[in-house]
Amino acid sequence: MTMFELSEDYQDLSDAVREFADEVVAPVSAKHDAEHSFPYEVVSGMAEMGLFGLPFPEEYGGMGGDYFALCLAIEQLGRVDQSVAITLEAAVSLGAMPIYRFGSPEQKQQWLPPLASGKALAGFGLTEPEAGSDASGTRTTAVLDGGDWVINGNKEFITNSGTDITRLVTVTAVTGQQERPDGSVKKEISTILVPTDTPGFTAEKAYNKVGWNASDTHPLTLKDVRVPEANLLGQRGRGYANFVQILDEGRIAVGALATGAAQGCVDAALRYAKERQAFGSNIGANQAISFKIARMQARAHTARLAYYDAASRMLAGKPFKTEASIAKLVGGEAAMDNARDATQIFGGYGFINEFLVARHYRDSKILEVGEGTTEVQLMLIARDLGL
């Protein structure tokens, strides 16, 4: 792949997922959104295509692809249904990827095959009532007791944490204290694998959200949850550093999702502008409408280039943290701006939930919040500039 042109394999994958999105996902999207129901039949189809195993080696049941392949799939799904796209993004980049990146050989052998097959889902339990953008506010604790971790705490906004096929949540927890070079003390944060059938683990009632209604999101309660000491994921005390790396990668994938949403708004607005008649001609003949759609296309194109660039840097082993933040920032704003403009073009129909642009209008706002707010991205970019 050059930075701007897809190889034949990447293009074939993108085309296949696009076809699946149009023929399988789109027809049931409004129904699942209205019912706030998890699209198990869609997830099953994605699993059959191997999408959950895209970036993982074949030895773990994966497809032997890479992270950019995953992003291409997420973009195409995001055009027609952000809930489905975020289900895949969170399942792979937040659910399975920490195990692949930091897990022991035994942990990888146990968990990656079912997760890569799409027959099981995993969540990433980071956010808490007092800890979102400021992860140092983590209050969940894990204490060693007779060879087990005993975990107590609460998590919020955890994707894929309460479905019928959810099997695991990786939680961040305070496991002690670490002394800084200046003598001050900070929390020692580690990550621990918690199977969802462990006594004391509860996925509370699902949230009633503004958007992403077909995505599974719950608060979690962990009360005296006891798991083996071997369930520590990665090195003790490296939990904070490890999940920062996971979030850096995840921002590229969310940038891809946002790009898909932005493009989906362009496609829908373009079709409507060519069909809708007003004052004797289609509304696309009006410069006010045509210029609005042109600007929408420019945003989607720019967002795509941003995540392509971040992904190519990541695959080349180059630093990509700032570029990932730019992809997330540009993509999220493109999705939100395009959703607003598309809704305006649709007029009254844009305010009806069964129309795709209405769902994008509700769904896109979280792209400026989840996996690092716009303000966090600006902070990281500014920091890289030496400010």
User: Which domains are present in the chain?
Assistant: 8-121 (1.10.540.10), 123-237 (2.40.110.10), 241-384 (1.20.140.10)
**CA dist., res. 100 & res. 78, Å (int):** 25
Active site residue 371: yes
In the predicted structure, residue 180 carries a pLDDT above the cut 90:
no
Compute how many other C-beta atoms are within 10 angstroms of the C-beta atom of residue 49.
18
**Mean per-residue pLDDT for 61-72?**
96
Using the CB atoms, write b or e for 158-177: b if 16+ within 10 Å.
bbbbbbebbbbbbbbbbbee
In the predicted structure, residue 2 carries a pLDDT above the cut 80:
no
Of 41, 354, 371, 375, which residue is the catalytic one?
371
**CA dist., res. 356 & res. 167, Å (int):** 32
In the predicted structure, residue 300 carries a pLDDT above the cut 90:
yes
Bridge partners of residue 128, in order along the sequence: 131
Q: What's this model's pTM, rounded to 2 decimal places?
A: 0.95
> In whole numbers, what is the pLDDT of the chain averaged over residues?
95
- Name the amino acid, one letter, at 191: T
pLDDT in tens, 305-319: 999 999 999 999 999
Q: How confident is the model at residue 5 (pLDDT cuts 50, 70, 90)?
A: confident
Bridge partners of residue 142, in order along the sequence: 151
pLDDT in tens, 91-146: 999 999 999 999 999 999 999 999 999 999 999 999 998 877 777 789 999 999 99
Query: Residue 136, by phi and psi: left (phi above 0), alpha (psi -120 to 50) or beta?
Result: alpha
In the predicted structure, residue 185 carries a pLDDT above the cut 90:
no
Judged by average pLDDT, the poorest of 80-94, 129-143, 169-183, 258-272 is 129-143
CA distances to 95, 125, 148, 175, 217 from 171, in Å: 11, 4, 15, 12, 15
pLDDT of 79 reads 98
What percent of the chain is modeled with pLDDT above 90?
89
In the predicted structure, residue 8 carries a pLDDT above the cut 60:
yes
In the predicted structure, residue 338 carries a pLDDT above the cut 90:
yes
In the predicted structure, residue 1 carries a pLDDT above the cut 50:
no
pLDDT of 3 reads 56
Provide the token pair at 130.
């007092």
Return the DSSP state at 65: -
Residue 88 contacts residue 46 (beta carbons within 8 Å): yes
pLDDT of 181 reads 83
Residue 350 contacts residue 342 (beta carbons within 8 Å): yes
Nearest to 19 by CA among 45, 53, 37, 44: 45
**Mean per-residue pLDDT for 196-200?**
97
**Mean per-residue pLDDT for 184-193?**
91
Bridge partners of residue 232, in order along the sequence: 192
In the predicted structure, residue 186 carries a pLDDT above the cut 90:
no
Beta strands in the chain (DSSP E): 121-125, 141-145, 148-159, 166-179, 185-195, 201-203, 217-228, 232-233, 277-278, 281-282
